[in-house]
Amino acid sequence: MKKYDFKVDSSKKIFLINGGGMFSLDDAKNFMAEYRLNVAKIDPKEYNLIVDAKDIKVNSPEIIPLLEEMIGLYTATPFKKKFSVIIESTIAQSQVKRVGKDELSAAFIFVPSCEEALKQI
């Protein structure tokens, strides 16, 4: 079962990423490759990014370098606005914030739901 998917809404100019569960090393590598492929199909400056990973679980230490790379990809891609749905697991949210350091807080608007992100676009 795939732990993530990408949706592009060309009419609303939204690039939506849904993710959940615990990522394996292969999941993380495949995610980054698919992210790059999907972003290459659009002009990110015209799109808003919404990352809905509220169901993500705490990741193992071997995934941390790839999590850092994912966060780097998100922050380096020049989307109009970047939203992140708050992760339900407090521990997983702490892990992501610790790995992302200030970079994540500066780049993203944290929202309680996708619906809230859509209201702010």
What pTM was estimated for this model as a whole?
0.91
List 52's β-bridge partners, or say none: 18
User: Which CATH number applies to 4-120?
Assistant: 3.30.750.24
Closest by CA position to 17, among listed 9, 40, 95: 9
| Residue 101, pLDDT score | 76
**What are the tens digits of pLDDT across the range 8-26?**
999 999 999 999 998 989 9
| Residue 1, pLDDT score | 65
Percentage of the chain lying above the pLDDT 90 cut: 61
- Residue ranges of the chain with per-residue pLDDT less than 50: none
| Residue 104, pLDDT score | 79
